[in-house]
């Protein structure tokens, strides 16, 4: 039995200025690269529209979620700053995807995104790092 051809996605010829409209074709000769930054931007916009939250609030939540994910994946304490670097890497990837999609840096937006994403994870990591040891933990050292 003949195998079906894989479906390939590529930007449509009549795509808008942002190039987000995609079409599909099962013919291998039409295989063009996927627009990963465009798909990523559409996903982010879908999340924002679906939740109804502002971009600022979404960046704050994403920063805290990445901090917890970094803590669980690396199994390192928040005071070690390793989970914070996880947040920094995720935010850098987010801003690079924005840059690739929009074609240039949008500095006011980029700066705001970085500040809102990194502020609370940084405060939490510094606070845990600087807090005095209490009770039995201090005696064990």
Q: Say whether pLDDT at 138 is over 80.
A: no
Strand partners, 104: none
Give yes or no for a contact between 130 and 81, defined as CB atoms under 8 angstroms apart: no
pTM comes to 0.71
Model confidence pLDDT, tens digit, residues 89-119? 999 999 999 999 999 999 999 999 999 999 9
Residues 21 and 68 in one domain: no
Residue 9 pLDDT class (50, 70, 90 cuts):
very low
Residues 83 and 134 in one domain: yes
d(CA 125, CA 62): 16
Residue 135 pLDDT class (50, 70, 90 cuts):
low
Residues 44 and 2 in one domain: no
d(CA 20, CA 87): 27
Q: Say whether pLDDT at 76 is over 90.
A: yes
Mean pLDDT of the chain: 83
Q: Which of 56, 59, 46, 57 is nearest to 20 (CA)?
A: 46
pLDDT in the model for residue 60: 98
Model confidence pLDDT, tens digit, residues 21-50? 444 544 445 445 678 999 999 999 999 999
pLDDT in the model for residue 63: 98
Residues 14 and 58 in one domain: no
The two counts, helices (H) then strands (E), for the chain are 5, 2
Residues 109 and 130 in one domain: yes
Structurally, how many domains does the chain consist of? 2
Residues 40 and 106 in one domain: yes
In which domain, by residue range, is 5 found? 1-34
pLDDT in the model for residue 38: 92
Give yes or no for a contact between 87 and 64, defined as CB atoms under 8 angstroms apart: no
| φ and ψ at residue 24, rounded to 5 degrees | -125, 155
Residues 72 and 124 in one domain: yes
d(CA 109, CA 105): 9
Residues 83 and 102 in one domain: yes
């Amino acid at each position: 039995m003949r195998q079906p051809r894989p479906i390939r996605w590529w930007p449509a010829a009549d795509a808008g200025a942002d190039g987000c409209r995609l079409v599909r074709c099962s013919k291998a000769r039409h295989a063009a690269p996927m627009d990963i930054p465009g798909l990523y931007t559409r996903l982010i916009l879908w999340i924002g529209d679906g939740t109804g939250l502002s971009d600022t609030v979404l960046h704050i939540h994403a920063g805290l979620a990445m901090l917890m994910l970094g803590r669980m994946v690396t199994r390192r304490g928040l005071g070690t700053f390793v989970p914070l670097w996880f947040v920094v890497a995720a935010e850098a990837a987010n801003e690079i995807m924005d840059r690739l999609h929009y074609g240039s840096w949008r500095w006011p937006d980029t700066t705001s995104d970085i500040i809102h994403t990194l502020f609370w994870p940084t405060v939490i990591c510094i606070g845990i790092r600087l807090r005095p040891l209490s009770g039995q933990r201090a005696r064990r050292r």
